[in-house]
Amino acid sequence: MANTETALKECLTSIEGATGVALVDYTSGMALGTMGGSKTFDLNVAAAGNTDVIRAKMRTMEHLGLKGEIEDILITLSNQYHLIRLLKGRGGNGLFLYLVLDQARANLAMARHQLKRIEEELEV
């Protein structure tokens, strides 16, 4: 079992091309922990904004009557990938991991796989 900081650090160091990561509480939009990012890329702002993305998707699924659960959401920019992974752990109800990847260096399939593993280890 990793603590939050270790898990975030692991995201940044072990996932190729990762430039920033945040663990976000989905209802309040608060980032419970962030790592990486830059002066021009405020992870706290990104965290708050992306809760709306998840909400919109969840609502759409509810409207459509889909029973499945969101595992992750991928957003592709021209030079970045943003990967959102919802945490499913016992107490992890309402948290998600938000990962920013540099498109030139990242391996998307690998990153998804690793993020899944880190999520399982986080076990919150």
Partner 1 sequence: MTVVETPPPLPVRDRTALRDRTAGALSPMLIRLAAERATGVLVREYGSLHLAEGRVVHAESPLAPGLDVLLTAHGTLDAAAWPWTDDIPAATHRLLAAGLLPRGALELCGLNALYDAAYFALSPSSTPGRFRYGDPPTPAPLHSVPVAAVERETLRRRELLDRLWPDPATDGAPLIRADPLAPPPLTPRQRAVLDRVDGVRTAPEIARELGRPAFHTLVDVRRLTAAGLLAPASTVAAPPVLPPVTDPDIALLKRLRDALEAL
> Which residues of the shown chain bind partner 1 in the complex (CB under 8 A)?
1-4, 7, 23, 25, 27-30, 32, 44, 48, 58-59, 62-63, 90-91, 93-95, 122-124
- CB of 87: closest distance to partner 1 in angstroms? 10
Residue labelled with tokens 């940044």: 12
For residues 7, 61, 90, 74, the Cα torsion angle rounded to the nearest 10 degrees is -10
Smallest distance from the beta carbon of 107 to partner 1, in angstroms?
27
Return the number of the residue (99 or 122) whose C-beta is nearest partner 1: 122
Nearer to partner 1 (CB atom), residue 4 or residue 103? 4
Residue linked to tokens 């919150």: 124
DSSP classification of residue 17:
T
Distance of closest approach, residue 105 Cβ to partner 1, in angstroms: 28
List of long-range contacts for 62-65, beta carbons under 8 Å, 24+ apart: none
Packed helices 108-122 and 4-14: angle between N→C axes, nearest 10 degrees: 160
Report, in Å, the least distance between residue 72 CB and partner 1.
Answer: 19
Q: Which stretches within 15-64 are classed as H helix?
A: 43-64
Identify which of residues 76 and 94 has a Cβ nearer to partner 1 in the complex: 94
